[in-house]
Amino acid sequence: MGIVFGAVHAMTPGHSKAVLATYLTGSSAGMGRSLLVSLALSFTHVTMAVLIAMLSLPLVSVALGSVGRAPALETLSRGLMGLIGLWMLWRAFSHAGHKHDAEEGAAFGFMAGLIPCPLTLFVMTFAIVRGVPEAGIAFAVTMMAGVALTLCAVALATVFFRRQLVGLFESRPRLITAVTRSIEAVAGLVLVAIAIREIIR
């Protein structure tokens, strides 16, 4: 039940699906690395909530007072994603090499997942108040598996469709270079715009 609940919950807004797809569209990550990014995002998203609940109940009270939000972590997450967007823009226009390693993808997943899951915060707080924190952790772990399933599906679909698009242009290497740089530049602009909009809001 927890896995199904987590998968459905991850389909709702606020789980960085659009940001994940944007990043993977502008990167050269394959299926394996896209899974790493989505797993890092899922793990960080749920784990941050568990850590906040376990280590700082006063902070949870403040977060739940604003409908499960943690504004400082949200601002940090958006700011770091904005920096990645600027870096992608720099690479697109500087003609630098486009090597994307696993560490970059994992770092992006971590940054995008810094926003704690409000539902996990609620469940953990309820479990701690009832004196059964291990039940809250067990639910968080199963829910994380469901969240990961949804985010992995988004990541794999993004990489699949990006490859199909690239396959259409394989016979024209100069065109594909231009398209790749354009996609990376647009992805970078979108990440910067999302970061600025969310920080200002």
Is the Cβ–Cβ distance between 144 and 51 less than 8 Å? no
Report the distance separating Cα 14 and Cα 30, nearest Å: 25
Instruction: State if pTM tops 0.85.
Output: no
pLDDT at 95: 62
**Could you give the dihedral angle defined by the CA atoms of residues 167, 152, 33 and 186, in that order, rounded to the nearest 10 degrees?**
60
Domain ranges across the chain: 2-200
154 pLDDT band (50/70/90 cuts)?
Answer: very high
Per-residue model confidence as pLDDT tens digits over 111-129: 888 888 888 888 888 888 8
Inform me whether the pLDDT recorded for 94 exceeds 50: yes
Angle at CA of residue 60, ends 54 and 65, nearest 5°: 165
- Cβ neighbours of 194 (radius 10 Å): 18
